Structure 1
Amino acid sequence: MTTFDDRERAFETKFARDEDMAFRITARRNRLLGVWAAELMNLTPEETGSYATSVVQADFEESGDEDVVRKLLGDMLAAGVEIDDASIREALTSKTIEARRQLMTAE
């Protein structure tokens, strides 16, 4: 029975590690999206840092990416940046890849 218990613990450990990595990738992606959006809105370096943090925090409003897309779209349109939902979703995909790459090379 110990082999089964060991295997079960190994699966639980892998699941926990995978969930942690997914969370870290999403948080990094959201920070990268915040920096990207801040550059398009011509924010100062100080404003860029706080804006990137606000994008990370916006992801905690509801599950999924809709809250982040809604925040970015609203903020960017309010700042006079002409952008659409599809462009933000495209950036979301590219920043996810970039965030995963950054975290993989950091380990």
Structure 2
Amino acid sequence: MWSDYAYGRNAVYPEGHHGNAVLSRFPIEYYENRIFQSATARNAVCFTAASCRPESGVTIHVICVHLGLRADQRQAQLTMLAEWVNTLPAGEPVVVAGDFNDWRQQANQR
């Protein structure tokens, strides 16, 4: 179905594992997985970032996140994510999606 994908495994169990994925119908030219500094080895919360270039020739950066459950964790993780995003070339589109664990819908207010 999806010929190109980037997958970051972040939790492994005897029955299997789960993680973050970026699926693309365009070729993925580069991807990396990052573990947030506040994550524990048992439940590593991370983000998977992929860069793809559709026919338009513009590189698009797509990031799939799974943020922590506590607000202070999420704030630290968003700071780390913002620092990483700031290393990307200026003017190239960036899409950030995933599980923000923001039940109170207050992340944009901090």
TM over 0.5: no
Structure 1 or 2: more helix by fraction: 1
Structure 1 or 2: more strand by fraction: 2
Determine which structure has more spread, i.e. the larger CA radius of gyration.
1
- Normalised by the length of structure 2, the TM-score is 0.27
